[in-house]
Chain A
Amino acid sequence: MIAIIDYDAGNVRSLQFALQRLGAKSILTNDPKLIKAAEKVIFPGQGAAGSAMRKLKGTGLDKLIPMLKQPVLGICLGMQLLCEATEEGEVNGLGIIKEKVIRFSNQVKVPQMGWNNIYKLQLPLFKGIKEGDFMYLVHSFYVPVIKETIAQSDYGEPYSVALKKNNFYGVQFHPEKSSKSGSQLLKNFLAL
């Protein structure tokens, strides 16, 4: 069973449908017991960092998530919140990855919205996904290239589109909205 962390994080329907298409059973929950017992955990996210962190703290999930031992996948804001802090409202994240999330410069249109190609892809999360394949992204803030980076993209400059630290994975793009390549990534996560 896959637990999708429920903290009112916007559009999780598409994620549930994407998992369903892969034949995976998922449950949307904020119950610590169910989350701890799940085979894999997906930490979705959309919207503003500040209100997301408030909701996580309100249910104690901010303490639970960093303690998880099974593979965890943060998506979009979910990935950003794995980090130490974000410039978005100067909010502290979960602190799993010691990096600050920063805003794109005004040299580019913000938010970045659309399909961008990804490269320097590392296994096993990007197995079967080609260098230069496209993923769908919508975001105003980003993680620079750091030692935890396992895939990059360019928007004005290179930045992280995927991170890994121990059992924690994060992707900036929306795999549930990224057609075949996105579906392959979810499949790879399920196979971890």
Chain B
Amino acid sequence: MLTKRIIPCLDIKNGRTVKGINFVNLRDAGDPVELASQYAHQNADELVFLDISATEQKRKTLSKLVLKVAEAIDIPFTVGGGICSVQDVSILLKNGADKISINSAAVNRPNLINEVAMHFGSQCLVVAIDAKKIDGQWKVHLVGGKIPTKINLFEWAQELEERGAGEILFTSMDHDGTKNGFANEALARLSETINIPIIASGGAGCVNHFIDTFKTGKADAALAASVFHFGEINIPDLKKQLNKQQIAVRI
């Protein structure tokens, strides 16, 4: 049976992880490669690296990092952040990324999705959507959720599927950082709207939130950052709890 995936997300700036990370037995908390290895050992199913740096050197630093991660870990990983061309995608995949994640660039130029799917296949193409409920309507936001658009979340997800997205990473801006649980209602509706896998993101605070997002939100995978980084939730323990709830996970 296909299992539900648990995905820690690492924010990267100039080749280093940012945000506080509180891991026992970690020599250097800022080294993404070491952190990635730790998560792989803990049975994380996948990793996401989100590059938030904005320097000229960015692409070069990121591709070097991708190469080091590919060398060190034997689970799949996705790289995202500022990808806006087929060329960007090509460099990251050649260096060993399994999937790339496109966000704002897809809204700015939707045809990029078709181009990437045609060149490299849908299997490596994750499209990230940041959305927020405004007057009862889920609206897509850009630049890490800062800029609102008029685009409806569900229509956008449908369009992305048609254009060749292989997977949707949905972050609810209303839930992100709250630790009050994932946006399960919107997630479940997304699952009814499209037939590609959906990663739930934003709002993880405790084990029950993961149970809910898989059961009620019908998510295929759940992504979180701080609860894992600060050791508030331990992945092997989380998976045991999910398993007890008859949720299929890789143990």
Which residues of A are in contact with B by a Cβ distance under 8 Å? Answer: 10-11, 13-14, 17-18, 20-21, 46-48, 106, 109-117, 134, 136, 138-140, 154-155, 174, 176-180, 182-183
Select the stretch in B54-62, B69-77, B132-140, B144-152 that faces chain A. Answer: B69-77
Interface 1/0s, chain B 159-181, versus A by CB < 8 A? 00000001100000000000000
In the assembled complex, the CB of B249 is this many whole angstroms from the nearest CB of chain A, namely: 9
Given A46-B123, A114-B45 in contact, is the A179-B75 Cβ separation under 8 Å?
A: yes
Q: Which of B4, B120, B250 has a CB less than 8 Å from the CB of A134?
A: B250
Contact yes or no, B2 A138, CB < 8 A = no
Interface check B234, CB cutoff 8 A:
no
Q: Which of B96, B122, B123 has a CB less than 8 Å from the CB of A14?
A: B96
In the assembled complex, the CB of A114 is this many whole angstroms from the nearest CB of chain B, namely: 5
Given A11-B93, A13-B94, A111-B123 in contact, is the A116-B74 Cβ separation under 8 Å?
A: no
Chain B residues with CB under 8 A of A138: 76, 98, 123-124, 166
Chain B residues with CB under 8 A of A139: 123
Contact yes or no, A17 B71, CB < 8 A = yes
Considering the chains assembled together, what is the distance between the CA atoms of A136 and B40 in angstroms? 13
Chain B residues with CB under 8 A of A48: 118, 121
Contact yes or no, B1 A117, CB < 8 A = yes
Contact yes or no, B120 A109, CB < 8 A = no
Considering the chains assembled together, what is the distance between the CA atoms of A20 and B96 in angstroms? 14
Chain B interface residue bracket vs A: 20 to 34
Chain A residues with CB under 8 A of B2: 112, 114-116, 155
Contact yes or no, A113 B74, CB < 8 A = no
**26 contacting pairs across A/B (C-beta < 8 A):** A10-B93, A10-B124, A11-B93, A11-B96, A13-B95, A13-B96, A14-B74, A17-B71, A47-B124, A109-B197, A111-B122, A111-B123, A114-B45, A115-B2, A115-B5, A116-B2, A138-B76, A138-B98, A138-B123, A174-B76, A177-B74, A177-B76, A178-B74, A178-B75, A179-B74, A183-B74
Considering the chains assembled together, what is the distance between the CA atoms of A136 and B95 in angstroms? 19
Number of cross-chain contacts by CB at 8 Å: 101
In the assembled complex, the CB of B49 is this many whole angstroms from the nearest CB of chain A, namely: 15
Interface check B220, CB cutoff 8 A:
yes
Contact yes or no, A111 B118, CB < 8 A = no
Interface 1/0s, chain B 100-134, versus A by CB < 8 A? 00000000000000000011111110000000000
Considering the chains assembled together, what is the distance between the CA atoms of A80 and B122 in angstroms? 16
Considering the chains assembled together, what is the distance between the CA atoms of A13 and B93 in angstroms? 9
Contact yes or no, B166 A113, CB < 8 A = yes
Considering the chains assembled together, what is the distance between the CA atoms of A37 and B82 in angstroms? 43
Most-contacted residue by chain A among B70, B74, B96 (CB, 10 A): B74
Contact yes or no, B3 A114, CB < 8 A = yes
In the complex formed, the residue of B with least CB distance to A17 is: B71
In the complex formed, the residue of B with least CB distance to A139 is: B123
Interface check B67, CB cutoff 8 A:
yes
Q: Which of B40, B75, B195 has a CB less than 8 Å from the CB of A110?
A: B195
Contact yes or no, A14 B220, CB < 8 A = no
